[in-house]
């Protein structure tokens, strides 16, 4: 993985400029003037892939590719037999639109509409749903091929990041950076969870757009890059970061070696974004339709200034997850992070991060360099995701660090390459390999947590005992395993942490109903209905509990309410007929 100053200098140039300066005598990308005659080949700046000597990257190094293959695939091999978990059920297993390959619904409905027809998540990701439907058509509900696809996408993203790094920092730091990206334990959720497909696709499309836009001149590249950008938006909204990241890359790559600026990719991206927003507005009825629950993101209940301070503390948590990924969790919702008791050190750490980003950005504007790009990439890609600018649907999630971590990996790769000047080549290489090994082992250990929902939520409550959704998920897994007493304990624990947890009340009611405790079940069904009046399942099972208690008129009213909420629900229709039939029989007997 050694490099040298000559290879790094050669790697930052482009084989062709993306935009040609118009007119004789106008400055070109290299700062020279064009006078209509052919210049000597040696005068042209060279791309990372251009042949100019033994120190330059001429073709993808086979050893580098093999290393990245190993780094991307080996830590995750033990995740391939894993089951579906968490959001995989709603997006794949129990998704009617995916099962029937209803492509029209992918493009005309909410991301979660195939699972819940009344879903209003505010998410629009038809490309991701199409990928799930294609796999469902080919493989059914075998988890293995879904995991293989995610792993291959992770490999693709790693290789794309490597190619981008090659253009920016040279062979050795590019390889170190890509290898670090491949093994980061914080990526485990995006790679292992089938639902993480959205992050993988969006990140791949962002990198493809950047590589195409910075790879040469001509409208064909401009349009191709815009198409990649558009596909990314259709995979996940996070792809909207691409133009901002292009600006960062442009500032390093072209600002340092050019006097001209290429505006066409930005114009094409703006047109593509406008088309996407028009489509999204037509489908979703607005640009933002998501109602954020305090259960998912406790920051939404805080006043503006307090929310920003708490979000800064959360930003510190993200930094810790990247640098020291010891305590990983599939869920950080209420009350894994106590927003009312965030430590002053965490808030101070967030403020220091903001100051560091501001100082680095100012320095990057004046004197672009790879460390500056790494920090600015992190800032641009994390800014919309850490609840500082505005609240989002989660307080913290490992999967959304997938795209930002490219900047972190670039910075680590650059630092490892620079370390050889202080430590020597052998010591620096040993340090880098040791780091990769530690991260890879941590990733492999983390894969075991995702084996199934029981192991996953056991890990969640071990790390964050006050996580309400963690206890509810563990209770469901225990119930499915037939461990009803333990399941009841964890349902009650979830409700104790968050009393307004409607689905925990509902699930506990189901468990109590199945264990012949209809009176206790009725209380929790009524709480679920009060907390969410449109909860059709809760109304239906409230009717069942009332029926078992002999309160037939009330049972009919509850069941009728379920039918009103979901008119096409066969189970509710049948229950209503059964209740009315019994009532009719009793009235006939009385006569």
Task: Please state, in angstroms and as integers, the Cα–Cα distance from residue 34 to each residue in 39, 261, 434, 468, following that order.
Answer: 9, 16, 50, 66
Q: Which of 218-232, 338-352, 429-443 has the lowest mean pLDDT?
A: 338-352
Q: Is the pLDDT of residue 2 over 70?
A: no
Query: 3-state SS of 164-223?
Result: HHHHHHCHHHHHHHHHHHHHCHHHHHHHHCHHHHHHHHHHHHHHHHHHHHCCCCCHHHHH
Total Cβ atoms within 10 A of residue 69: 14
User: What pLDDT, on the 0 to 100 scale, is given for residue 119?
Assistant: 82
- Would you give the end-to-end CA distance of the chain in angstroms? 93
Q: Which domains does the chain have, with CATH numbers?
A: 62-84+141-448 (no CATH), 457-590 (1.25.40.10)
Q: Which of 112-116, 128-132, 254-258 has the lowest mean pLDDT?
A: 254-258
Q: The pTM is what?
A: 0.88
| Chain segment 406-420, per-residue pLDDT in tens | 999 999 999 999 998
Distance of alpha carbon 532 from alpha carbon 512, whole angstroms:
20
For range 357-361, the mean pLDDT:
91
Q: How confident is the model at residue 60 (pLDDT cuts 50, 70, 90)?
A: low
Q: Is the pLDDT of residue 368 over 50?
A: yes
Q: Which of 161-165, 337-341, 363-367, 448-452 has the lowest mean pLDDT?
A: 337-341
User: What pLDDT, on the 0 to 100 scale, is given for residue 21?
Assistant: 37
What percentage of the chain has pLDDT greater than the value 70? 88
Which residues pair with residue 27 across a beta bridge? Answer: 33
With vertex at residue 155, the alpha carbon angle to CA 316 and CA 174, rounded to the nearest 5 degrees, is 65
The answer to whether residues 293 and 256 touch, using CB atoms and an 8 Å cutoff, is: no
Distance of alpha carbon 471 from alpha carbon 492, whole angstroms:
9
What percentage of the chain has pLDDT greater than the value 90? 73
Q: Which of 36-40, 132-136, 222-226, 248-252 has the lowest mean pLDDT?
A: 36-40
User: What pLDDT, on the 0 to 100 scale, is given for residue 588?
Assistant: 83
User: Burial letters for 514-535: b for 16+ Cβ neighbours within 10 Å, e otherwise?
Assistant: eeebbebbbbbbbbbbebbeeb
User: What pLDDT, on the 0 to 100 scale, is given for residue 589?
Assistant: 83
User: What pLDDT, on the 0 to 100 scale, is given for residue 255?
Assistant: 65
């Amino acid at each position: 993985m050694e490099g040298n100053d000559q290879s790094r200098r050669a790697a930052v140039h482009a084989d062709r400029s993306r935009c040609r300066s118009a007119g004789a005598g106008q400055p070109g990308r290299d700062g020279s003037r064009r006078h209509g005659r052919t210049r000597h080949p040696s005068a042209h700046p060279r791309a990372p892939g251009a042949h100019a000597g033994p120190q330059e990257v001429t073709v993808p190094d086979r050893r580098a590719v093999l290393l990245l293959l190993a780094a991307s695939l080996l830590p995750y091999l033990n995740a391939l037999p894993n089951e579906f978990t968490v959001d995989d059920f709603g997006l794949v297993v129990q998704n009617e639109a995916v099962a029937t390959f209803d492509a029209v619904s992918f493009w005309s409905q909410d991301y979660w509409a195939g699972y819940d027809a009344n879903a209003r998540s505010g998410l629009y990701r038809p490309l991701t749903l199409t990928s799930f439907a294609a796999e469902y058509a080919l493989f059914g509900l075998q988890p293995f091929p879904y995991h293989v696809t995610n792993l291959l996408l992770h490999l693709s993203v790693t290789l794309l990041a490597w190619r981008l790094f090659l253009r920016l920092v040279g062979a050795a730091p590019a390889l170190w950076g890509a290898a670090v990206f491949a093994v980061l334990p914080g990526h485990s959720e995006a790679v292992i969870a089938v639902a993480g497909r959205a992050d993988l696709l969006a990140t791949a499309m962002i990198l493809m757009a950047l590589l195409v836009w910075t790879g040469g001149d001509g409208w064909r590249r401009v349009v191709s890059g815009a198409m990649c950008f558009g596909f990314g938006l259709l995979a996940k909204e996070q792809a909207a970061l691409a133009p901002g990241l292009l600006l960062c890359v442009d500032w390093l790559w072209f600002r340092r070696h050019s006097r001209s600026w290429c505006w066409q990719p930005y114009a094409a991206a703006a047109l593509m974004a406008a088309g996407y927003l028009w489509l999204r507005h037509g489908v979703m009825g607005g640009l933002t339709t998501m109602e954020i629950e305090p259960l998912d993101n406790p920051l939404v209940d805080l006043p503006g200034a307090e929310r920003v301070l708490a979000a800064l503390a959360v930003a510190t948590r993200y930094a810790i997850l990247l640098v020291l990924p010891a305590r990983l969790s599939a869920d950080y919702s209420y009350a894994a992070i106590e927003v009312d008791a965030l430590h002053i050190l965490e808030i101070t750490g967030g403020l220091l991060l903001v100051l560091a980003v501001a100082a680095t950005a100012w320095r990057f504007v004046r004197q672009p360099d790879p460390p500056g790009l790494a920090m600015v990439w992190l800032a641009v890609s994390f800014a919309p995701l850490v609840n500082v600018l505005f609240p989002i649907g989660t307080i913290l999630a490992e999967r959304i660090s997938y795209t930002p971590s490219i900047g972190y990996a670039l910075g680590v790769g650059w630092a490892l390459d620079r370390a050889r000047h202080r430590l020597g080549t052998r010591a620096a290489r040993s340090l880098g390999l040791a780091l990769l090994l530690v991260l890879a082992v941590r990733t492999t250990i983390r894969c075991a947590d995702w084996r199934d929902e029981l192991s996953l939520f056991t890990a969640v409550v071990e790390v964050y005992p006050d996580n309400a959704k963690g206890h509810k998920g563990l209770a469901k897994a225990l119930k499915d395993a037939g461990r009803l007493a333990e399941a009841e304990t964890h349902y009650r624990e979830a409700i104790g942490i968050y009393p307004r947890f409607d689905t925990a009340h509902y699930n506990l009611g189901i468990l109590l109903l199945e264990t012949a405790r209809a009176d206790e079940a009725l209380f929790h069904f009524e709480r679920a209905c009060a907390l969410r009046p449109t909860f059709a399942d809760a109304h239906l099972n409230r009717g069942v509990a009332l029926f078992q208690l002999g309160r037939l008129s009330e049972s009919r009213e509850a069941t009728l309410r379920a039918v009103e909420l979901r008119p096409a629900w066969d189970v509710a229709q049948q229950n209503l007929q059964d209740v009315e039939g019994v009532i009719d029989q009793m009235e006939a007997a009385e006569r």
